[in-house]
Amino acid sequence: MDLTTYPILFGAGLCAGFVDSVAGGGGLIALPALLTAGLPPQVALGTNKLQGSFGTFSSACNYIKRGTVDLKKSTAGVLFTIAGAASGAWAIQQLDPGFIRHLVPILLLAVFVYMLFSPEIGYEDGRERMPGFLFFLVFGLGLGFYDGFFGPGTGSFWMAAFVMVMGFNMTKAAGYTRVMNFTSNILALLLFVIGGNVLYSAGLCMGAGQVIGARIGSGMAIKRGAGFVRPVFLTVVFLTILRLVYVNYA
């Protein structure tokens, strides 16, 4: 790539890290930037996992350091997410993801409508509707599989699950979501590395921006709370729906 492309990728990584650390969906910024830079799709996807891993790690560490996330309580979720993501990454090589591609916008729309018309949800911790281990068994395997198999909207689904099922406030949900995202990102990255589909120069450049953006975004989410996280989350979910509809039907 031309050297002038790297500052643009750094800026895209910074913006993606900020958005992703608050509400997920950083790939809406990062992946188009990599494709625009001229990377083949499979290399863009692998490089996106590399740069995204920097951001999810940075923001997860910040949430853990600030006490928003208890890492010990995430252990089952990490293990089940690894198992689910590995299964999804294997399945994508055997099956056509077309049916999921058309289903995901509908599911995201349901999340968007529910959250939009439940203005009180996510501001305070609510009632836990499922034991923690069972929650991570179901959603760790399910969303881990989905992330390995297809991917777009995974962070949004995790946040919605933590809020609606576990009763987390949105700031806490954002923190635990980053831990789960980092887990599946690393596994997917390993597979892309084995396949030789990562451009390290671009990934590390964007990764530097991701670290900065993720620290700023997670810090603001912790400081400002659900009143800041909620509108960002709804905006990201809505834009993800539009992008998937455009990709599927344009």
Structure tokens at 215: 């620290």
In the predicted model, residues of the chain with pLDDT beneath 70 are 93, 97, 250
Report the domain count for the chain: 1
Specify the pLDDT at position 93: 64
C-alpha distance from residue 5 to each of 13, 78, 226 (Å): 12, 35, 36
pLDDT tens figures, 33-64: 999 999 988 888 889 989 999 999 999 999 99
Compute the distance between CA of residue 123 and CA of residue 230 in angstroms, rounded to an integer: 9
pLDDT of 62-78, one tens digit each?
999 999 999 888 999 99
pLDDT of residue 195: 84
What residue numbers bound the domain in which 121 lies? 5-249
pLDDT at 100: 78
Query: How far is residue 92's CA from residue 27's CA, in Å, rounded to a whole number?
Result: 19
The model's pTM: 0.89
Phi/psi at 211 (5° precision): -60, -45
Report the pLDDT value the prediction gives residue 188, as an integer from 0 to 100.
Answer: 85
In this predicted structure, what is the pLDDT of residue 142? 93
- Burial tier of 239 (Cβ tally within 10 Å: 0-12, 13-18, 19+): middle
- What is the per-residue pLDDT for 97? 66
Would you state the structure tokens that stand for residue 61, as one six-digit string?
A: 């560490």
Q: How far apart are CA 2 and CA 226, in angstroms?
A: 41
Which of these, 189, 183, 220, 188, lies nearest to 204 by C-alpha position?
189
